[in-house]
Amino acid sequence: MAESLHSLFCPTSIAVIGASTKEHSIGNVIVKNLVQYGFKGSVYPVNKKAEAIHGLKAYLSILDVPGKVDLVHIVVPPIVVPQEVENCGKKGVKFIIINSAGFKEMGKKGAALEADFLSRAKKYNIRIFGPNCQGIINSNPNIKAYCNFTFTYFKPGNISVIAQSGGVGQIIIQALHDKNIGIGLYASNGNTCDISIPEIIRYYGNDKNTKVIILCVESISDIKKFISVAGEVASKKPILAISSGITEKGASASRSHTGKLAGGKTTEIIFEKTGILSFPNLEDLCNASIAFASQPISKGNRIGVLTNTGGPAIVAIDELVKSGLKIPPLTNSIKKNIAGRLLTASSINNPLDILATADASHFKIALEAMVKEPKIDSIYITLVTPIFIDCVKVAEVIANVSKENKKPIVCNLITDNKAWAETANVLSKGGVPCFNFPETAAKILASLVRYNDFKKRKKGQIKTFADINKNTVKSIFEKAKTQKREILTATEVFEILTAYKIPITKWSTAKTIEEAITKSEKIGFPIAIKAISKKIIHKSDVGGVVLNLKNGLAVKSALREMQNNIAQPDLEFMIQKYHSNGKELIIGVKAEKGVGHLIMFGMGGIIVEVLKDVVFKLLPITNIDAKDMLAKIKTTALLDEYRGKPGVDKEKIVEIIQRISQLVTDFPAIKELDINPVLAFSDKAIVVDARIIYSSK
Amino acid sequence: MAESLHSLFCPTSIAVIGASTKEHSIGNVIVKNLVQYGFKGSVYPVNKKAEAIHGLKAYLSILDVPGKVDLVHIVVPPIVVPQEVENCGKKGVKFIIINSAGFKEMGKKGAALEADFLSRAKKYNIRIFGPNCQGIINSNPNIKAYCNFTFTYFKPGNISVIAQSGGVGQIIIQALHDKNIGIGLYASNGNTCDISIPEIIRYYGNDKNTKVIILCVESISDIKKFISVAGEVASKKPILAISSGITEKGASASRSHTGKLAGGKTTEIIFEKTGILSFPNLEDLCNASIAFASQPISKGNRIGVLTNTGGPAIVAIDELVKSGLKIPPLTNSIKKNIAGRLLTASSINNPLDILATADASHFKIALEAMVKEPKIDSIYITLVTPIFIDCVKVAEVIANVSKENKKPIVCNLITDNKAWAETANVLSKGGVPCFNFPETAAKILASLVRYNDFKKRKKGQIKTFADINKNTVKSIFEKAKTQKREILTATEVFEILTAYKIPITKWSTAKTIEEAITKSEKIGFPIAIKAISKKIIHKSDVGGVVLNLKNGLAVKSALREMQNNIAQPDLEFMIQKYHSNGKELIIGVKAEKGVGHLIMFGMGGIIVEVLKDVVFKLLPITNIDAKDMLAKIKTTALLDEYRGKPGVDKEKIVEIIQRISQLVTDFPAIKELDINPVLAFSDKAIVVDARIIYSSK
């Protein structure tokens, strides 16, 4: 399927329907760009009146164009687009970029036009790019296709860009171009009515010239396909993305904790699952792509810092440490080896400060030491260009080491790029990524390490438990469905969990106080009792929860009071064994439209209310995913031993998470599931309360 | 005092001792820079051999220079520096920049040389800048003093820079210069042996041409002077700083919670107290200075977003919202007013998307609406330069509004700066700060709002409680001092708190179990008992804490067990009234060398252990500071009402914090103080446990 985009990105002939003689119009600029950027194939302007446009003969109709046409731009008003697509079909065109706007985004009438041109395209096996889009650019010297009305004539390179928003795409390519960084392929496909983001990602994944992919999307229509395709590509090539931009409606009117907490986080969760590196802003993203384009991936998080000026290295180290990287001391033998060969006042350590008066020979000694040093995975260089040093020679030393080195190098180059143009040029040609600010260089080095972490991470297994009883659950959900109930009763929820061998507290229900006392005695004191009534959302708010009842008398008086507080005719009592001292945890699931199910784990009780300290993953999850959730909450230390008090049994929690994963995978009509709390102990984990909302559709 | 730096920054004559004929040497470059940058006064190279340097007559000695000399550079080896300073004294020189290194930073011998030249300077009333430094630059067209060996010939401007590290300073001035932004004064004073950072800040504060101050310091010798001077200046002009770089030894071996938690945070605390705006990195700092240099301060946090392309505005809004800013909907009357006058498909709202096809007339309508809109304090513009629009005219519209407008404007300009040079130029001349990336522009707009918050904030009053008993405390500390004890006993601590009317739980001590029972009965059950012994650090780790004892029998059995657990001869019992259900808080104080006392407030118990959710301020603090501490912890919501359970009495906690402030101000030899926990209730706050460490020196 990916190969099928070949003629879109590597066309040999392009027609522009709506090509115009009017300067600065889109139909004029596209022809001009194709000519000026040096397209290697044929360009056919289509215009009903003009003889020629930018020196190229114009044709009355696409049907008049001689020879085959791989790719067509359509820039005419929306109303005539379907007919032009029909004509393209007759002509045997393979791809159409519809630059024109005025379709689905403009309401019903536009949507009808879009449906019309799409059905015609399908009839002729034409693929549509756009509409309401910029188009594509391929800088390959054998192609040179600038199928776009923008203005950035970038040089060839191994970074390729996908940006749904043309404005965002423009920011990226201009930023890289301003830094004299080449770009391979560019695609900005606006409304994305046919050719999809995953198709383009796969094409880039297979493109030999593309080493790094930049991805900026606002919406993804088929998340499963996206995760599968992008995940496969991301394991071979880094995909860098920003997480903002995919605007989400957020928490809306969700009834569960999980639902409320999931709002706005889906993009990050998808990226994490896929192995896409997300960045907090476009600038960091662009800068990182430069390093990924020329440097190897770091093998670990230990950084050697080499500098010829103190202050900026301190600033860099602050940032490196903040990013979780280590600055280990140098090995003694290496220190000894270089000590006598550097300038006297040098600081022989990590950071290795060789002073502003260090020349190329000193840099060579220092850099070779960093390369040899087994305790260092990556090299950070601060290079100020002193007026009294031959900095071109220093740059040559760094560039040479960079070319042969398997440890990534980034450089904070402090200079006037005009006066030291040759120094900058030597570093650039040597593929040494240089940044003006120390924090930038440090952050970018950290992202190389982060990609290595992604690549290294083990996926784990999706465990399928055989000891479950699927039929019990099936019949409960079917019953609820026939009764058109979305919220399951407490009894049903406990039965479902029991069927999936999720450990729950001993429980029973009672309709009267007398029954409650009998049942309590059977379960054994202490007892907790909760009100069951369809009218109650938060039981504890209305006096519907009593804990730690120690005998029948206590049950009696507590339930009398509860009956007074909650005067509901459907009031029943959920009677449970009361556990004290367990750690309160929360596990939840939420169906996200178009995405699948998110699973959440976090600290329960007041901590989830106030700190929202939870972690999400996309279902289904593996044993490693489940363990990772426990490790990733901010308060994870609360799960461990603390001042003599034992930690919780994490394996038991991991198992519950995996069983929940299986339950929801088996019954995807589960909309929301809240287990709140699970009480965790040193030897067990027990569900105390849970709710399930099921789609009755 | 500040005026006294006049001849340093505005010299009329400069001599360079160590001026050199050797190209690229520091002694050569300083003379070259003075000449080439166009110094308006006289330059006198001093060199024992040369006739002339860079066309200027050279002199054998400073004493041979004709006429007066305001400022001297010394670039000779350290060993001869004291003699040259002596000569300068004889000559009547006022200021010396010592560029040479090799003094205090190089050990004893260097320190002796430094002491030597300092005493000679003092004798002659010479002020020393440096040593081991770059120097100063003044771009004022009437001065043009480039007293520095670096390479950035910036144009005049209203941003002035102080950077202790020359490397960091160089990054800043080069970054601004690369963006064609002017700079007023520059000072990089390395070792800072005499002329201090506060003196320079005061000078910049009084400099009419300086509108914004950039400050990058690595260490501050006199924090009190720094806070007083910088605080005064910051209330008139924004001071922008980065918080990294002031490297701190951190928590080290502190015995208190407060001490452990304070590590590495002092700089931020000082900046916050002073009203200095701190930035996470140099790039944000530089970018913000550009906006502060040309735009008014925002009056509030409500932003109007105007764009001619959708995607980048969405990215910007993400960042604006993340920074705590609001994007309010436009007033209906304003929407009505502009609706018919913009392009049909425009989105008449906030963000206001006027489409890529909008021309200058549409921008004018939209911008004037934003200016009029009473619900908006600042304006954010996304401007892509479409090929089919006269963007110079658009720029003129924005620049004109910017010149007259009292609402700050920042712009994300998406363009090729070469092809649209005139557009960028018009915006630049109009003082519209333009950034390539949306997140940058958004963050910078947020910093304008942040400065407004600083300026608006009320300082409050330092309350002095008259009901305290200072003498009691004095005698306790004196006793401890004579006994050379640094850690006060539990009894002493409680007596001190009582003397300062800090409410503590009812308490008593006992040596025997029998006495403990009697005392418990007197206090009233339930009772908590804690072990007192000099051998115990964490009482609860060794079974030294029992809670909620309900009668004499329970006391007896608990204390027997405690005696078994802690077989220490000095074991005594602290008997306290036991309170259940209070919210555990922590209040602490730590003396920071050279800084003063930091006070800390946070959630106690396991939350402080795991989340470190605490806030620090510098003592003494006002009532508003104390309230602010309660509001600034992440878990501040835990102090409020929650599901029917009442919140804590915040006034009571604020009062305790203020009384602690007074205690420590009265007794600055207190090194560490931990109140952990204070139990807070809806109507009271009670100290349950506390420790004080006192300096016996």
Q: Which architecture, in CATH terms, is B506-578?
A: 2-Layer Sandwich (3.30)
- The string of pLDDT tens digits covering residues B238-247 is 999 986 544 4
Phi-psi region at A496: left, alpha or beta (left = phi > 0; alpha = psi -120 to 50)? alpha
Name the more confident of A595 and B130: B130
Nearest CA in chain A to B345: A106
| pLDDT for res A253 | 41
Residues 508-567, chain A, touching B (beta carbon < 8 A): 538, 540-541
What fold characterizes domain A150-294? Rossmann fold (3.40.50)
Retrieve residue A340's tokens. Answer: 């006598």
Q: Is the pLDDT of residue B79 over 90?
A: yes
Residues 487-506, chain A, touching B (beta carbon < 8 A): none
Query: In Å, how far from its chain's centre is CA A477?
Result: 34
Which chain A positions have a beta carbon within 8 Å of B188's beta carbon? none
Interface size A-B, in CB pairs within 8 Å, comes to 178
- The string of pLDDT tens digits covering residues A510-553 is 999 999 999 999 999 999 999 988 787 777 777 888 989 999 99
| pLDDT for res A219 | 75
CB contact under 8 A, B437 and A606: no
CB atoms < 10 A from the CB of A404, how many?
7
Which chain A positions have a beta carbon within 8 Å of B171's beta carbon? 312, 414, 436-438
CATH number of A459-503+581-697: 3.30.470.20
Strands B71-74 and B95-98: parallel
* DSSP per residue, A511-547: SSHHHHHHHHHHH-SSEEEEEE-TT-SSGGGGT-EEE
CB atoms < 10 A from the CB of B409, how many?
28
Instruction: Give the whole-angstrom CA distance, residue A192 versus residue B591.
Output: 62
Instruction: Give the whole-angstrom CA distance, residue B656 versus residue B181.
Output: 50
Domain ranges of chain A: 1-132, 150-294, 296-456, 459-503+581-697, 506-578
Instruction: Give the whole-angstrom CA distance, residue B618 versus residue B615.
Output: 11
| pLDDT for res A286 | 98
Q: Which one, of B617, B586, B588, B587, lies nearest residue B459 by Cα?
A: B617
Chain position carrying tokens 């199910």: A597
CATH number of A296-456: 3.40.50.261
Which chain A positions have a beta carbon within 8 Å of B218's beta carbon? 311, 314
Give first-to-last CA distance, chain B, whole Å.
34
User: Cα–Cα–Cα angle for A535, A538, A543, nearest 5°?
Assistant: 90
* Helix, strand, coil share of chain A (percent; to 5): 40, 20, 40
Chain position carrying tokens 């019309």: A116
pLDDT average, residue stretch A659-664: 97
Q: Which one, of A673, A499, A657, lies nearest residue A589 by Cα?
A: A673
- Quick one: CA dihedral A338, A343, A347, A350, positive or negative? negative
- The string of pLDDT tens digits covering residues A320-373 is 998 999 999 999 999 999 999 999 889 999 999 999 999 999 999 999 999 999
- The string of pLDDT tens digits covering residues A178-208 is 999 999 999 999 989 999 999 999 999 999 9
Point out the residue among B106, B168, B178 whose CB comes nearest to the CB of A312.
B168
Given a contact cutoff of 8 angstroms between Cβ atoms, the answer to whether B370 and B409 are in contact is no
Given a contact cutoff of 8 angstroms between Cβ atoms, the answer to whether B256 and B589 are in contact is no
Strand partners, A508: A575
pTM (2 d.p.): 0.90
CB atoms < 10 A from the CB of B37, how many?
18
- The string of pLDDT tens digits covering residues A110-121 is 999 999 999 999
Q: Is B439 on the interface with A (CB under 8 A)?
A: yes
Which chain B positions have a beta carbon within 8 Å of A318's beta carbon? 244-245
Q: Is A24 on the interface with B (CB under 8 A)?
A: yes
| pLDDT for res A246 | 46
Q: Which residues of B248-277 are buried (b: 16+ CB within 10 A; e: fewer)?
A: eeeeeebebbbbbbbebbbbebbbbbbbbb
* DSSP per residue, B393-412: HHHHHHHHHHHH-SS-EEEE
Instruction: Give the whole-angstrom CA distance, residue B353 versus residue B311.
Output: 10
Smallest CA–CA separation between B504 and chain A, in Å?
26
Instruction: Give the whole-angstrom CA distance, residue A689 versus residue A536.
Output: 14
pLDDT average, residue stretch A70-93: 97
Q: What percent of chain B has pLDDT over 90?
A: 80
- The string of pLDDT tens digits covering residues A395-440 is 999 999 998 888 999 999 999 999 999 999 999 999 999 999 999 9
Q: Residue A391: CB partners within 8 Å, gap ≥ 6?
A: A383, A385, A415, A420, A423
Instruction: Give the whole-angstrom CA distance, residue A562 versus residue A529.
Output: 10
Given a contact cutoff of 8 angstroms between Cβ atoms, the answer to whether B379 and B409 are in contact is yes
Residues 54-113, chain A, touching B (beta carbon < 8 A): 106
Nearest CA in chain A to B634: A611
A2 — pLDDT class (breaks 50, 70, 90): very low
Given a contact cutoff of 8 angstroms between Cβ atoms, the answer to whether A361 and A389 are in contact is no
Q: Is the pLDDT of residue B164 over 50?
A: yes
Name the more confident of B535 and A231: A231
What is chain B's length? Answer: 697
- The string of pLDDT tens digits covering residues A228-283 is 999 999 999 999 998 664 444 333 344 566 666 666 678 888 999 999 999 999 99
3-state class (DSSP) for residue A2: helix
A568 — pLDDT class (breaks 50, 70, 90): confident
What fold characterizes domain A1-132? Rossmann fold (3.40.50)
Q: Residue A465: CB partners within 8 Å, gap ≥ 6?
A: A500, A501, A658, A659, A662
Nearest CA in chain A to B436: A171
Q: Is the pLDDT of residue B252 over 70?
A: no
Q: Element (H or E) spanning A666, and its range?
A: helix A650-666
Q: Is B134 on the interface with A (CB under 8 A)?
A: no
A177 — pLDDT class (breaks 50, 70, 90): very high
Instruction: Give the whole-angstrom CA distance, residue B306 versus residue B352.
Output: 5
Given a contact cutoff of 8 angstroms between Cβ atoms, the answer to whether A184 and A207 are in contact is yes
- The string of pLDDT tens digits covering residues B21-35 is 998 899 999 999 999
Given a contact cutoff of 8 angstroms between Cβ atoms, the answer to whether B97 and B133 are in contact is yes
CB contact under 8 A, A167 and B635: no
**Alpha helix (H) ranges present in A139-222?**
166-178, 197-206
Q: What is the ipTM of this complex?
A: 0.88
Q: What percent of chain A has pLDDT over 90?
A: 80
Rounded to whole angstroms, what are the CA distances from A264 to A246, A251, A616, B190? 9, 7, 12, 47
Q: Is A416 on the interface with B (CB under 8 A)?
A: yes
pLDDT average, residue stretch B74-84: 96
Q: Residue B100: CB partners within 8 Å, gap ≥ 6?
A: B18, B74, B75, B76, B77, B78, B81, B131, B132
Q: Is the pLDDT of residue B173 over 50?
A: yes
Which chain A positions have a beta carbon within 8 Å of B166's beta carbon? 309, 311
CATH number of B458-503+581-697: 3.30.470.20
Instruction: Give the whole-angstrom CA distance, residue B216 versus residue B474.
Output: 41
- The string of pLDDT tens digits covering residues B341-358 is 999 889 999 999 999 999
| pLDDT for res B257 | 61
| pLDDT for res A595 | 84
| pLDDT for res B248 | 44
Q: Do domains B1-132 and B458-503+581-697 have the same CATH topology?
A: no
Point out the residue among B171, B216, B345 whose CB comes nearest to the CB of A414.
B171
Instruction: Give the whole-angstrom CA distance, residue B370 versus residue B364.
Output: 10
| pLDDT for res A320 | 94
Residues 282-301, chain A, touching B (beta carbon < 8 A): 282-283
**Alpha helix (H) ranges present in B248-390?**
257-262, 266-274, 282-294, 310-322, 332-339, 360-372
- The string of pLDDT tens digits covering residues A3-60 is 489 999 999 999 999 999 998 899 999 999 999 999 999 999 999 999 999 999 999 9
pLDDT average, residue stretch B612-633: 94
